[in-house]
Structure 1
Amino acid sequence: MIDPRIVVEVVQKGDDYSSLLEDSHSALVTAEFALAAGLDNVISQLTSELGEAELEFLLFRKSQMNNDAALASEHLTNALNHSRNQSNRSHLLEARIRMEWGLLRYSQGEEVEAGVDLRWAVERLGALNEGHPWHGLALLNMATWHTNRGEYGMALAMYSEIRRESPHSVEIIAISRRRAAELFMQKNHNYTALRNLWVAHHGFRDCKMKEEAIESGLHWIDVGLEHVSDNAATMEQAITNASPRSIGEKFPNVAINRDDLRYMVDWLNEQECADETGLLDEAIQTLQS
C-alpha cells in the first residue's frame, strides 16, 4: 500500500490522486493519517472516496481523539454494522474494527476479552492481507497487550512476525524493532537490542521520522558506548549473520564497531539534536581516545 504521506502531498497540490487509492481502504488509511495531522482540508477532499462503514470509522477516530468515549463507541458500532452489510461487506474493515473493539475493551478494564478480540483481528487480517498497515498495527497492539501482562516472550514472538523481508511497511518494521529492543534490554539481551535499535534507527530515517530516528540512535549509543572495539563486527554484519541460538548457547559479547559509532555520532550531530545528558560528547571523546 502506498504511503499516506505521498497521497496527502498530492491532494494538497491539487493534483489527481485517484490512481493512488487503488489498494483496499487506502482512502481511509490516508484520511486517518490526515486526521492525526490536523489536515481538515485533506479529509474533506477524501470524504467522497469513503464508504458508509469507513465514514463511521473515521467519525469514531475523531470522537476518540476528542475523548468522547460514548460517541466513539456509537460510531464504532455503526461502522461494524455497515461493514457487515452483505451488499458491500468488507472483511478487512470488519477485522480492523474488531481490533479497535479490543483496544476499547482494554481501556475499560476487560483485559482478557480484549486479548480475544486482538488475537482474532491479528489472525483475520493476516489471512486476508498480510502486510496491510492494519495487519501490522494489529500485531503491534497484540504485542503491547502481552507486554502489559508481563508476557515478554509472547510479545517478542508477535514482533518477530514483522520480519524485515516481510511485506510490512518500513514504518511498522521500525516501530516493532524499537519496541522489541526495549524488551531485549529488560531481559539483558543487549547485543540483540543493539541490532534492533540499529534497524529501527534506519527505518525511521527512511520514513523521515526524524525524532524517532534520533531517539533510537541515541539509545543505541547509550547501550553500546562502553563496549566500543575496532575488531567488533559492524551492525550490518551482525544483522546479516544473526540466527537463532541453540539450546545452551551463550549470548554474544556486547560490542559495537568504532566506525559504526562514528557514523551514528556524525548523523546525530548533523541533526543538531539536544544532548542534555552529554551522551554525544562522551561518544566523541571515546572516538578520539
Structure 2
Amino acid sequence: MSELSLDEALALDATGAIQPESKISLSPLRRDFLMLARTISEEGAVEALSLSEDILDRSRSVDERDPEVEARVRLDRALIGAIEEERVGHELRWATDRLATLRPGSPGHALALLNLASWHASIGETMMALAVHSEITTASNHPNDLVALSRLEVGRLHQKIGDVPSSLRHLWSSASRFSAEGMLGEEAIALLEWLDLALDSLSEDAERMGDIISNSMPRTNLEPSEAKVHPDDVLESGLRLAGIILDDPSGDKRPDVGLLVDAAHCISSDEIAQSLREKVDSMQDTQVIEWIQELELKGSETDQS
C-alpha cells in the first residue's frame, strides 16, 4: 500500500474522509502529526505544545527521521507561540526554505509562504510581504485556493500603501479564483472588498477587469496610477455577490447588503435592485430596508418620467 503524502493525509483528515487503512499506511510519526494538527485546530495552542515538542524531537531522531515533518512542526511551533518571539521570523523562513526544497509547489509550501508573508506584514514590512506573496503562483503548481488567499492578502496590502489599481486587480483575481473552487464565502469577501473600492472609481472609459488581468505585466513605474472601474464590472460583481449574500439576508446589521444597495444606486442597476427587492421581506436590518425602499421610489420616478 503506497503511503499518502503529508498534504493528502492532512486534507483527508480535516474533512473526516481519511480511511483507517490509509492511516495504517502512514508512519507512526506522521499519524501523530495528524493528531497535532487536529489538536491545534480543535483544542488550541496550549494543548499542542507538549505534543509538538515530542514530534519535533522524533522527526530529528535516527529511528524516525523525517525532514518534511520537522519542517511542518517547526512551522506550527512558530505559529502557536512555542518559541521566543524574536526567533519566529527565522523559523518561518527556515521552514519555508526547507519545504521549497522538499515539496516545492505543495500545499504545505504555499501555507509556509502565506505565514511568512503574514509575519512580514505584521511587523510593518509590507514590501517584503508582497515579495513573498509573489512566490505563490499556479505556475509553481501551488493550489488555486491558496493562490486565491494570497491574492486577497496582496489586494489588502496594496490598498494599505495607496495603490488602489493594483488592489482592485488582485481582489478581482482572488474572487475569480475562489469562485472557480466553489468557495462562495471567500468569494463574497473578496467581492465586497473590491466593490467597496470600485464604487469610488467609476468610469465609462475604464478597461474591463478581465482585460486588465489578462494584459497585466510587471510594473516598472512604482507610482500609483489612477483607479478606474467600468460600471459593467460593478454590475457583474454586484450580481455575483447578490447570488451569495442574499441567500440569507437576515441579521440586524448587514453592511454587506448595504454595499449592494450602494452599487445598485451608483450604476442605476435595475437588476441588482430587483434582486434586493425580492429578498426584502426576509431582511431585518431596518436601515438597509429603508435604502431599498428609496431605490424603489427612485425607480418609480424614472418610470413615470
Does the pair score TM above 0.5? yes
Q: Is the 8 A contact 1:27 1:49 kept in 2?
A: no
The correspondence for 1:75, drawn from 10, 28, 51, is 51
* 2:23 maps to 1:47: yes
TM-score, normalization by structure 2: 0.77
Q: Give 1:27 deviation, angstroms.
A: 4.1
Q: Which moved more, 1:274-283 or 1:135-144?
A: 274-283
The correspondence for 2:94, drawn from 101, 120, 139, is 120
Alpha-carbon distance between aligned partners in 1 of 2:37 and 2:5, rounded to the nearest angstrom: 19
* 2:263 maps to 1:283: yes
1:22–1:256 CA distance, 2 compared to 1 (3 A): farther
1:109–1:96 CA distance, 2 compared to 1 (3 A): closer
Q: Give 1:79 deviation, angstroms.
A: 2.1
Alpha-carbon distance between aligned partners in 2 of 1:193 and 1:68, rounded to the nearest angstrom: 33
Instruction: Give the residue type in structure 2 aligned to 1:254.
Output: A
Matches within 5 A, 1:229-244: 229-244=203-218
Q: Give 1:244 deviation, angstroms.
A: 3.0
* 2:185 maps to 1:211: yes
Q: Give 1:239 deviation, angstroms.
A: 1.6
1:227 counterpart SS class: coil
Q: Give 1:150 deviation, angstroms.
A: 1.0
Matched with 2:299 is none
The correspondence for 1:95, drawn from 57, 71, 77, is 71
Q: Is the 8 A contact 1:47 1:55 kept in 2?
A: yes
The correspondence for 2:148, drawn from 137, 157, 174, is 174
After superposition, give the CA deviation of every residue in 1:248-273 in whole Å (9 maximum; x if it has no partner).
Answer: x5322101122211111111122225
RMSD over equivalenced CA pairs, Å: 2.4
Matches within 5 A, 1:149-160: 149-160=123-134
* 2:242 maps to 1:269: yes
Instruction: Give the residue type in structure 2 aligned to 1:174.
Output: A
Instruction: Give the residue type in structure 2 aligned to 1:219.
Output: E
The correspondence for 1:165, drawn from 134, 139, 164, is 139
The correspondence for 1:30, drawn from 11, 15, 36, is 11
1:130 counterpart SS class: coil
Matched with 1:11 is none
1:280 counterpart SS class: helix
Alpha-carbon distance between aligned partners in 1 of 2:96 and 2:6, rounded to the nearest angstrom: 17
Instruction: Give the residue type in structure 2 aligned to 1:217.
Output: L
Instruction: Give the residue type in structure 2 aligned to 1:285.
Output: H
1:78–1:92 CA distance, 2 compared to 1 (3 A): same
Q: Is the 8 A contact 2:105 2:141 kept in 1?
A: yes
Matched with 2:292 is none
TM-score, normalization by structure 1: 0.81
